[in-house]
Amino acid sequence: PNGKSLATFSGHMDQVLSLDWNKYAPEQFVTSSVDRTIKLWDIRNPRGQVAMFGPFEFSVRRVKFSPFSPHYIATAGYDMSASVWDTRNGSVVFVHDAHREFVFGVDWSLFHPGMMATCSWDEQVHLFNVPIVK
């Protein structure tokens, strides 16, 4: 192994904080950044993102594709919330805003469709259900 990159994707204007692969479309991944954007990428086109959401008011700390649908991503941000986005139209389909500090972690349950967890600087972990369709 020579340690060389297969491809380099540029487009964020500040630090990239998170990346996750689409479990249903192996050529797609999503990133989040200090530049307050979320970008959807396709490895077949390293010249630019497929879609961009934002800019938002605050940085997006974490992004995760749903393990049950190719179209939904969850985000955790410094706006003290976690959101679920539909990548087909860029709409927010769910917001969890019960934390009192920055949300820096979000994940989907692999065993309970729609169940999610968040963690925050408020020293709490929240579990909740997201009523989304596949």
Q: Which residues of the chain have pLDDT under 70?
A: 1, 133-134
Type and span of the H or E element at 72 = strand 72-77
DSSP annotation of 78 reads T
Cβ-based neighbour number of residue 59 at 10 Å:
20
CA angle 83, 105, 113 (to 5 degrees): 60
